[in-house]
Structure 1
Amino acid sequence: MLGKQVFAIFLVIIMVLFCIQITIATHSYVVGDSAGWTFGVSSWANVRKFDAGDLLLFRYPKGVHNVVIVNKANYDNCNAIGKTLSSGNDSVALGKGPNYFICGIGGHCNDGLKMEAIAH
């Protein structure tokens, strides 16, 4: 009898862990779709619904652009102060709330290479 109870508890634990795994699954998005991380990309994020944990994949020619993860003030002022990614093939997991990205090369941010992604 005790063996059946232990087995039933074990099955319940497995089912709970399986459900938790499903609920934390993430989606991946290539920023800018086929155009990639380039000028005019800010509107790309406006038509998508992101969840915390979703991955943004930044694709761009290495050395031509970069991705700087910034706060709101640095986003608004195009200050490239934050974590800089520059491989041309970068991925970032979104945190809950607004996430801000700019290109820190030359005047690219001032020319529109910046994006806000809001994760729910």
Structure 2
Amino acid sequence: MASSSASQGNGNALRLVALLLCVMFIVDQAAAAVVPVGGNTGWMLGNKFSKLSIKSKDQLLFKYPANVHDVVQVSGADYKSCNANGQTRRSGYDQISLGPGTYYFICGVSDHCKQGMKVTVTVS
């Protein structure tokens, strides 16, 4: 009878550990956020963009009229010179996940980048 009681105790402990892992996963996922670049008005000329800090579980959201703007991920040098030499997105609703590091995004349309339509994103 003692071994049955011991195995039942081990089973309860395993269930408790599994439950705690599930709760930790749910809390971790709930802590992730979707961060709209440009706030409620989105990725548009006239918004003030410069630096944005997010966590690695967060996602960036670029919302914009696809027939007017785009989003180009560029190097630091291309960011400074507004050279749209990188991966271009044109959907108008681009949700992007990034790992830790620093990333640079510009609008590659016309002179939009030179008008300030660019952002540096630091992911921790």
TM-score, normalised on structure 2? Answer: 0.81
Match of 2:38 in 1: 32
Q: Deviations over 1:80-116 (max 9, x none)?
A: 1221110111111132122211001111111211001
Distance 1:53 1:82 in 2: 23
Match of 2:60 in 1: 56
Structure 1: 5+ residue runs without aligned partners? none
Q: Say which SS state the counterpart of residue 94 (structure 2) adopts.
A: strand
Match of 2:107 in 1: 103
Distance 2:19 2:74 in 1: 40
2:78 is aligned with 1:71:
no
Structure 2: 5+ residue runs without aligned partners? none
Match of 1:6 in 2: 11
CA RMSD of aligned residues (A): 1.9
Percent identity, please: 36
* Residue identity opposite 1:18 in structure 2: V
Is 1:37–1:60's contact at 8 Å kept on the other side of the alignment? yes
1:42 corresponds, among 25, 45, 49, to 49
Q: Say which SS state the counterpart of residue 14 (structure 1) adopts.
A: helix
Change in CA separation of 1:41 and 1:95 when aligned onto 2, cut-off 3 Å: farther
Q: Which has the larger radius of gyration?
A: 2
CA shift for structure 1 position 35? 1.9
Match of 1:23 in 2: 28
CA shift for structure 1 position 27? 0.5
CA shift for structure 1 position 73? 1.6
* Residue identity opposite 1:119 in structure 2: V
Match of 2:121 in 1: 117
